[in-house]
């Protein structure tokens, strides 16, 4: 099963390009779920979600819809901070509540570029798996040093999915490889805005990019490969500025014949 959607849905700059002008913000999720069968929740990166909030969201989408959740930054970006265990357990509890509804796709552990292979990094991955036992976890590395067989074998041992990415072809970043290390496969499209990846004033500038059909067609055989290697494939467009992600998701859906 292939699920295709966008990274986030609550963007004011989507009004006009995607959401009708007269549509109240409270109804954005229902409108979104009429077209897409999955959404990656990004707000969960900035604050630990409450189980009640996730349950309410699950009630607003149809059966068969899946939410993926980006793990709280206190788990992936502050591993030595006091209170890590509490933050991780609170996040895991909320994710388990969503999983009980049947509408959890995966939990994305997105690590920063500074997160490099080593004993401490391996220990953190093991801690995440232990605290979030039973949850479908996916790891997004930003540093190319992780793309080695020994590290992929670690993911397989821990039953952690590998997040495939499409992003600028810059030195040190992850290449567009299709890799499956767990029953859940995952792909994120960040855009190829090389000029703004490291040099930007606003975070959204990094993801300001419109994919061509030819660029996205490169991923069709890769996604089909992931489909054959896993039970579920989650594909998310993160080039979200002014609804460009919606166009990316639509193009991918058409190219895959979904």
φ and ψ of 164, to 5 deg: -80, 145
Q: What pLDDT score does 216 carry?
A: 97
The DSSP bridge partners found for residue 41 are: 69
Q: What pLDDT score does 242 carry?
A: 87
Angstrom distance (rounded) from CA 152 to CA 199: 30
The DSSP bridge partners found for residue 188 are: 165, 236
Tens digit of each residue's pLDDT (9 = 90 or more) over 107-123: 999 999 999 999 999 99
Q: What pLDDT score does 196 carry?
A: 86
Tens digit of each residue's pLDDT (9 = 90 or more) over 199-257: 888 888 888 999 999 999 999 999 999 999 999 999 999 998 889 999 999 999 999 99
Residue 217 is part of a domain; what is its CATH number? 3.20.20.410
Longest dimension (CA), the chain: 53
| Count of domains observed in the chain | 1
**Domain enclosing residue 157, as ranges:** 2-255
Q: Which of 134, 112, 133, 131 is nearest to 121 (CA)?
A: 112
Tens digit of each residue's pLDDT (9 = 90 or more) over 60-87: 999 999 999 999 999 999 877 778 899 9
């Amino acid at each position: 099963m292939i699920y295709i959607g966008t990274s986030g849905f609550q963007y004011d700059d989507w009004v006009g390009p995607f959401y009708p002008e007269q549509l109240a913000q409270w109804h954005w999720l229902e409108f979104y779920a009429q077209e897409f069968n999955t959404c990656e929740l990004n707000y969960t990166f900035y604050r630990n979600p409450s189980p009640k909030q996730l349950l309410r969201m699950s009630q607003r989408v149809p059966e068969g819809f899946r939410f993926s959740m980006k793990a709280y930054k206190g788990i992936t970006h502050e591993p030595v901070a006091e209170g890590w265990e509490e933050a991780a357990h609170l996040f895991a509890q909320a994710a388990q509540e969503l999983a009980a509804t049947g509408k959890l796709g995966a939990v994305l552990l997105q690590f920063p570029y500074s997160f490099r292979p080593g004993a401490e990094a391996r220990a953190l991955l093991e801690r995440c798996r232990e605290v979030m036992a039973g949850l479908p976890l996916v790891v997004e590395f930003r540093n190319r040093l992780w793309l080695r067989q020994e590290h992929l074998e670690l993911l397989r041992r821990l039953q952690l999915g590998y997040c495939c990415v499409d992003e600028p072809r810059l030195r040190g970043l992850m290449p567009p490889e299709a890799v499956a290390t767990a029953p859940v496969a995952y792909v994120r499209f960040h855009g190829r805005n090389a000029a703004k990846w490291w040099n930007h004033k606003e975070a959204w500038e990094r993801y300001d990019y419109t994919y061509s059909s030819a660029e996205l067609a490169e991923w069709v055989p890769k996604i089909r490969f992931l489909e054959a290697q896993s039970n579920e494939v989650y594909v998310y467009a993160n080039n979200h500025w002014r609804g460009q992600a919606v166009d990316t998701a639509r193009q991918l859906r058409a190219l895959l014949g979904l």
